Amino acid sequence: MSSEAPVGVFDSGVGGLSVLGEIRARLPNESLLYVADSGHVPYGEKSPEYIRERCRKIADFLLGQGAKALVVACNTATAAAVAELRERHPGLPIVGMEPAVKPAAAATCSGTVGVLATTGTLKSARFAALLDRFAHDVRVITQPCPGLVECVEQGALAAPQTRALLAAYVQPLLAQGCDTLILGCTHYPFLKPLLRELVPAEVELIDTGAAVARQLARLLGEREQLAVGPAQPTRFWSSGEPAALARVLPVLWGEAAAVAKLGD
């Protein structure tokens, strides 16, 4: 496959735009495709079987658009479906997401780490395995955050209801001594400015978008598939209402773009 072929990125909704931005920053010559599965958001409340079906369909769509690699820009989807996607597409570079338990365990001074994530991520075997591997010497306190994904989907990054929800989820973690917070959903990095107002300055916020971009660069480099460029304009699809994604792109992506409808 040509090194100038695009990279396909998808999420349950707009959260993966935080990862897309990290990829654009690290690999500016790569052409990018993005699917927001907003007609089925949030994944965190769906069954693993349902999520796997959606991931199969979206992966097939992106490969049909000529993608040379896939990025599953969703912690819940990674936990449910990345193993199956790799089995179905051997040899294809596929990068997933997982909560940053390892760097958080290394960063904490208090020995107590908080995790903000969806219910689906926190219940997954993949998350349990992460704790088993990397959290032996620290106390990890998990906090499911229903409603936050929907706030980001609406672009309501600083709205009163978003602040109230986030405060309710963060305060119990701070009260138990967490000095490091893992943002375990790709939607949550967009709430960093609001989080910084709600937590002490010394509390570290950790997400994995930059690590995903580094891993993608490594895999493409190993296969001599890094694009020389120039990159084509990023193309967007949504399984929900395209106009809704188009409205939040200037806020979350930094520029306006056309959005096509992804059929089910």
60-77 pLDDT tens trace: 999 999 999 999 999 999
2 is a domain residue: no
17 is a domain residue: yes
Element (H, E) at 94: strand 94-95
Q: Binding residue per annotation — 38? A: no
CA gap 41, 68 in Å, rounded: 26
Q: Which residue has the tokens 């000095």?
A: 179
Looking at residue 45, its pLDDT comes to 82
Q: Binding residue per annotation — 37? A: no
Q: Are residues 221 and 90 in the same domain?
A: yes
Q: Are residues 149 and 235 in the same domain?
A: no
Q: Are residues 198 and 116 in the same domain?
A: yes
Q: Which of 163, 181, 206 is the last residue of a domain?
A: 206
- 187 half-sphere exposure, CB direction, 13 A CA radius: 30
Q: Are residues 137 and 78 in the same domain?
A: no
CA gap 96, 73 in Å, rounded: 6
Q: Which of 162, 186, 206 is the last residue of a domain?
A: 206
Looking at residue 80, its pLDDT comes to 94
Residue-wise pLDDT tens digits, 129-186:
999 999 989 999 999 999 999 999 999 999 999 999 999 999 999 999 999 999 999 9
Q: Binding residue per annotation — 186? A: yes
Looking at residue 219, its pLDDT comes to 98
Is pLDDT above 90 for 190?
yes
3-state helix, strand, coil in the chain (%, to 5): 50, 15, 35
Active site positions, annotated: 74, 185
Q: Binding residue per annotation — 40? A: no
What mean pLDDT value characterizes the chain?
96
Q: Are residues 200 and 246 in the same domain?
A: no
Residues sharing a CB contact under 8 Å with residue 180, sequence separation 6 or more, in sequence order: 104, 107, 108, 110, 112, 113, 114, 203, 204, 206
Alpha helices in 160-208 (DSSP H): 160-175, 192-198
Q: Are residues 200 and 111 in the same domain?
A: yes
Please give the residue range of the domain that contains residue 142.
Answer: 101-206
Q: Binding residue per annotation — 44? A: yes
190 is a domain residue: yes
1 is a domain residue: no
Name the domain count of the chain. 2
Q: Are residues 180 and 107 in the same domain?
A: yes
Question: Could you tell me which residues are beta bridge partners of residue 117?
Answer: 144
Is pLDDT above 90 for 115?
yes
What is the rounded average pLDDT of the residues 188-204?
97
What is the rounded average pLDDT of the residues 191-220?
97
Whether residue 243 contacts residue 49, with contact meaning beta carbons closer than 8 Å, is answered with no
Q: Are residues 15 and 66 in the same domain?
A: yes
Q: Are residues 85 and 121 in the same domain?
A: no
Write the DSSP string, 153-167.
HTT-TT-HHHHHHHH
Looking at residue 20, its pLDDT comes to 98
Is pLDDT above 80 for 264?
no
Looking at residue 182, its pLDDT comes to 96
150 is a domain residue: yes
Q: Binding residue per annotation — 188? A: no
What is the rounded average pLDDT of the residues 106-124?
93
Is pLDDT above 90 for 1?
no
